[in-house]
């Protein structure tokens, strides 16, 4: 098997292990067995368990960001553009549930891991901030940064809820989230009492 293909296989198996057991309880022996490689080969590829975990986070986070960016043009704040991004976000959560769980459900305790997750989160927040600023004249920083952070947090929470309620169709969840995003970006039409 070519080196890059073997590396991706190891990452797939590791992602399943990390999502199922968590970082601390995931076994390098089980990952090696599942990938059909020796434990020393894992260390040759990734250096350590933390190195393997970081590589998995980088791959999953990179894929999520790439999919969101590709879903619609960066400055497209139309309903169709927002809906395309939301559908793609939820598709990632559904299709790559292991990646989602490792990125956003696992409590990370080591600094390098927390830093890598923060990079992924920051890239998503920054993309949402730019979208808000392109669609809303009053969305200048810091308001747009705060709104983007709130919307991304809401999306993360909704995705975590949806993983526990797979009977709800992706399109329904997307409609709910689109309504929240549009309502927040549009701003209040009248103050709440």
CB 27 within 8 A of CB 5: no
For 2, other C-beta atoms within 10 Å of its C-beta total 7
Residue 13's closest CA among 43, 33, 34, 44? 34
pLDDT of residue 91: 95
Q: What percent of the chain has pLDDT over 70?
A: 91
Between residues 152 and 76, the one the model is more confident about: 152
Higher pLDDT, 86 or 117: 86
**Average pLDDT estimate for 39-61:** 95
CATH code for the domain defined by 50-186: 1.10.357.10
**Among 164, 135, 36, 119, residue whose Cα is nearest residue 76:** 135
Look up the pTM and report it.
Answer: 0.81
Band the pLDDT of 163: cuts 50, 70, 90.
very high
pLDDT top residue among 181 and 31: 31
Q: What is the pLDDT of residues 63-112, one digit of tens each?
A: 999 999 899 887 787 888 889 999 999 999 999 999 998 888 776 666 78
- At a CB cut-off of 8 Å and minimum separation 6, what does 126 contact? 148
Q: How far apart are CA 116 and CA 58, in angstroms?
A: 7
Distance (Å, whole) CA 16 – CA 30 = 11
Q: For the chain, what are the domain ranges?
A: 50-186
pLDDT of 162 higher than 90: yes
Report whether 103 contacts 123 (CB < 8 A): no
Q: Collapsing DSSP states into helix, strand and coil, what is residue 138?
A: coil
């Amino acid at each position: 098997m070519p080196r890059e293909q073997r590396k991706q296989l190891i990452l797939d198996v590791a992602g399943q292990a990390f999502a199922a057991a968590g970082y601390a309880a995931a076994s390098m022996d089980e990952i090696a067995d599942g990938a059909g490689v020796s434990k020393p080969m894992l260390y040759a590829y990734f250096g350590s368990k933390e190195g393997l975990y970081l590589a998995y986070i980088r791959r999953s986070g990179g894929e999520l960001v790439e999919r969101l960016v590709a879903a619609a043009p960066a400055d497209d704040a139309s309903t169709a553009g927002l809906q395309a991004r939301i559908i793609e976000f939820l598709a990632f959560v559904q299709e790559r549930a292991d990646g989602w769980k490792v990125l956003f459900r696992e409590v990370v305790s080591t600094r390098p891991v927390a830093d890598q997750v923060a990079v992924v989160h920051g890239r998503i927040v920054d993309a949402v901030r730019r979208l808000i600023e392109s669609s809303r004249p009053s969305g200048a920083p810091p308001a747009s940064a705060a709104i983007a952070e709130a919307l991304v947090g809401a999306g993360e929470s909704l995705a975590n809820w949806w993983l526990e309620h797979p009977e709800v169709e992706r399109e329904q969840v997307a409609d709910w989230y689109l309504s929240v995003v549009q309502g927040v970006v549009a701003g209040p039409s009248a103050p709440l009492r």
